Amino acid sequence: MSKTDIIRKLLKDNIVLATGCTEPVAVALCVAKAKKILGKQPQRIELFISQNIIKNAMGVGIPGTGMKGLPIAVSLGVYGDCSQGLDVLNNVSQHLDKAKEWLNTHEINIQLAKNVDKLYIECIAYSGNDFSKAIIANTHQNFIHLQRNEEIFLHIDNFNNQTKESTNSIEESEISSKDVFDYATQSDISEISWLMDTIKVIEKATQEGIEGVFGLNLGKILFSDEESSVRKRVIARTCAASDARMDGATSAVYSNSGSGNQGITCTIPIYEFGKELGKSEEEINRALMLSHLMSIYIKQHIGRLSALCGVVNASIGVGCGFVLLQGGTYTQVCYLIKNMINTITGMICDGAKPSCALKISTGLNAAFDCSTLAMRNIVVEETDGISEHDIERSINNLGKIGRYGMDCTDNLILEIMTNKEK
């Protein structure tokens, strides 16, 4: 594939409509698929899931239910339509009562899967003498095994070494940060104008967060604060969308790299800051593309799920967009990336939950600060921390920390989360 084709595919695979936090949503999707294969309502569900899925599903609100955690997501999956992908929890109200009744009268057994990919969901649905099995791995919608009784419809042996088309990943040599910048800034506007449509969708979540009561109400509180500024308004509207989404609001958002919060973070700040600066729709559109695509590019190095919070790559993407909105060059975008790497690397992911908005606020404040420095041609020295003279080596260093260096941290986080005092 050409570099442009690779980028187009990355965008298609990684910017996806989703209702609710994508980890419990992926579990509901897997259950829905297993139920469809079974061909009848399951009497019992067994789940074997990776610790990153457990971590990200423990404390997050399930849309439209007023409930948290995996059990309600599983029961909703029993009544869900797997053809909807990560939007499987849309229109929850249509079958919520039936799902709650199923939850109260049927057995769900959830176990930790060991020695599997960081994103792994195995669902076995039973009814009488029949069973079905569906397995998702590597990415949130990537089925690697489908089975009914002894009949296997799909099986991929080594999902960690699948083709790039299956894993939505790239080889380090295929595209670079310069290719990402060039695509965002030089493509015909008709090629990228579709991104503006994502704003209309995500802004509904923003309004829901400002008008309602969700989570810590961080966005709503910042938005109503009399001490207003451009920075505070931008951060407030972004955090409001996260407040709503992570506490069970029903508004769908466009996810980035399998995360709704990353999608929100890559979108709302660029749109709001662009409006504040009086930028044209095309200028905002190109900054949006740079924000989303750079976040995806960096996330490819970190891995789909990690102990490194997704706000890290998303807020780096936003910072790149901020630089572009202010007339910055590729060199200044590189300065921004290095400054951000030396600022927020190490922010842990301790599960999806209403307080994720606090991390978004932290990442966006860093993006404003680092873009201000970059626009003045100020960059951390190559002797500082993990950044280097070469931008790709700097990004690779960040990726190594997220993909490999924080594995022990990931284990410890889950241990702490599952052993809290009651």
Instruction: List the chain domain ranges.
Output: 21-165, 170-417
> Which has more confidence, 305 or 371?
371
* Fold of the CATH domain 170-417: 2-methylcitrate dehydratase PrpD (1.10.4100)
Show the beta-strand stretches assigned E in 64-185.
67-68, 107-112, 120-127, 130-137, 143-148, 151-155
Per-residue pLDDT at 202 exceeds 70 = yes
Residue 411: count other Cβ atoms within 10 Å of its Cβ: 12
State the pLDDT at residue 165.
Answer: 36
**CATH top-level class of 21-165:** alpha beta
Mean pLDDT of 379-385: 94
Single pTM value for the model = 0.91
Condensed to tens digits (0 to 9), the pLDDT of residues 20-64 reads 899 999 999 999 999 999 999 999 999 999 999 999 888 899 999
State the pLDDT at residue 171.
Answer: 53
Mean pLDDT of 146-160: 86
- Site of tokens 């009497």: 43
Per-residue pLDDT at 1 exceeds 90 = no
Report whether 76 contacts 35 (CB < 8 A).
no
Per-residue pLDDT at 162 exceeds 60 = no
Size (the chain), residues: 422
Per-residue pLDDT at 305 exceeds 60 = yes
H or E segment to which residue 219 belongs: helix 218-224
Mean pLDDT of 263-274: 98
What is the average pLDDT value for the chain, to the nearest integer?
93
